[in-house]
Amino acid sequence: MPNNNKENGILEYDKSENKVSVIIPIYNAEKYLSKCIESVLSQTYENIELILVDDGSKDTSLEIMKSYEKKDNRVKILTRENKGQLQTREDGLELSTGEYVTFIDADDWIDSNMIKTMIEIQEDYNADIVRCSYIDEHVEENRHVANKPPFDKVQYISRDNFKELLYPIFINTHQINSIWGQLIRKDLIEKFDLDKKIRIAEDLMFNLKLYQNINNIAFIPNNFYHYRANIESITNRKDVNSIKSKLQNVIKVYSEYYEYIKKWNIESEENKNNVTLRILKETEKCINELYTFKTSKKEKLEVFNYAVELLAENKVQVTDNTLKRYEDKLLIKQYYNLFNIVKYLKFKIPYNVKKLIKNVLIIFNNKNLDNRKI
């Protein structure tokens, strides 16, 4: 329980338990930051340190941080120029002194018993990582969508079972993409050689490196983490440049799966095909955003062309089986365009790119596209 230090009015806490470092990278988060910080400081597990890393905010975020630093001696603040989340988290790690680490995004929040429960599970199973599930919070719409956890009860997975139980989750779902929602033994986190220019899918890139170091993991089905679906975030911005940026980041990071299934010794044709489908689905999401706002023919052509170049550059492995699994979706306009792109990749005709994309664009603008048969 906290003790009140009468000299400075700051709360002090029992240090007998293992310390947990909570790291929050912050950039212009004034609208949501207080809720996030308070959810951490109100944890039932009290031996924590809260490291707030200001990534060059231009709003009142720093003032909000300082107000909490005055109230609670567990709060530490680090300020620096804007360098993005990967570097911000790394700087927070350097300042941390806990045996365990958890990350939170500044616009999200956590349940009050999250850390206590995770520490208890860690101790019960001697787990390198404890991971919980989450809720998508569409605050503006007053809508809450609980993510279905990969297991409906506590599931301990040792390295002997990674091929069977862990790697398929990585390849086929988004359930362990995020860096948040997990308690991590700090000594397992290295300064990975990560591309700091990546601003989308950087969590997945981090986890792929991190999970190479672990010997076990415990999943718990609790939806402790609350992810705010923020319409203002970079991942939800709608313009041609943002789509191209997403394509570049997403295709680069997801293509690394080809190397990882080799490292994991699961490089079967099925798994290679699943990786390809995963990359194409992520590419497809980016391309489909062209249909959600007004764009010119020239801009559509530009994005299609860019997607093709990136997929080819990252050696996305399109096979007959991949094409076959797309055939049932050909009557949908967006899928049809991507189908043409992957056909190009399969047959690898670089000098024909412009001609193909032109034909795709013609098809795209055909009024009778939805009834077209191949």
User: Percent of the chain scored above 90 by pLDDT?
Assistant: 53
Give 263's contacts (C-beta < 8 A, 6+ positions apart). 212
Q: What is the pLDDT of residues 15-57, one digit of tens each?
A: 447 899 999 999 999 999 999 999 999 999 999 999 999 999 9
Residue 354: pLDDT band (50, 70, 90) is very low
Does the pLDDT of residue 146 top 50, yes or no?
yes
Kindly list the domain boundaries of the chain, sorted by start residue: 3-228, 237-371
Mean pLDDT score, 290-316: 82
Mean pLDDT score, 264-281: 89
Residue 279 phi/psi, 5° resolution? -65, -45
For the entire predicted model, the pTM comes to: 0.82
45, 78 Cβ separation under 8 angstroms: no
Does the pLDDT of residue 250 top 50, yes or no?
yes
Does the pLDDT of residue 181 top 90, yes or no?
yes
Residue 13: pLDDT band (50, 70, 90) is very low
Q: Quote the tokens at residue 131.
A: 């991971």
Q: How far is Cα of residue 134 from the mean position of the Cα atoms in its chain?
A: 13
Mean pLDDT score, 136-157: 90
CATH classification code of 3-228: 3.90.550.10
Cα-Cα-Cα-Cα dihedral of 142, 235, 335, 341, to 10°? 180
Residue 213 phi/psi, 5° resolution? -90, -15
Q: Which of 354, 339, 202, 201 is nearest to 280 (CA)?
A: 339
Residue 236: pLDDT band (50, 70, 90) is low
> Is the pLDDT higher at 165 or at 236?
165
Distance CA 72, CA 68 (A): 6
The pLDDT mean for the chain works out to 82
pLDDT of the residue at 135: 95
Q: Minimum mean pLDDT among 15-29, 175-189, 213-227: which range? A: 15-29
Q: Minimum mean pLDDT among 307-311, 321-325, 350-354: which range? A: 350-354
299, 309 Cβ separation under 8 angstroms: no
pLDDT of the residue at 143: 86
pLDDT of the residue at 202: 87
Position 287: which residue type? I
Does the pLDDT of residue 226 top 90, yes or no?
yes
Mean pLDDT score, 173-197: 85
Residue position matching structure tokens 């492995």: 317
pLDDT of the residue at 192: 62
Q: Minimum mean pLDDT among 63-67, 154-158, 210-214, 215-219: which range? A: 210-214
Mean pLDDT score, 214-232: 89
Q: Minimum mean pLDDT among 47-56, 76-85, 122-131, 235-244: which range? A: 235-244
Does the pLDDT of residue 283 top 60, yes or no?
yes
Does the pLDDT of residue 336 top 60, yes or no?
no
Calculate ∠ Cα 340-342-344, nearest 5°.
75
> Is the pLDDT higher at 265 or at 1?
265
Q: Where are the alpha helices (DSSP H) in the chain?
A: 33-41, 61-71, 85-95, 114-125, 167-172, 202-210, 240-254, 257-263, 269-288, 297-313, 320-326, 333-347, 353-364
pLDDT of the residue at 62: 97
pLDDT of the residue at 195: 67
Give 294's contacts (C-beta < 8 A, 6+ positions apart). none
pLDDT of the residue at 346: 56
Mean pLDDT score, 114-129: 97
pLDDT of the residue at 373: 31
Q: Which of 233, 231, 335 is nearest to 281 (CA)?
A: 335
Mean pLDDT score, 191-208: 78
Give, in order, the Cα–Cα distances in Å from 184 to each of 92, 174, 342: 14, 19, 39
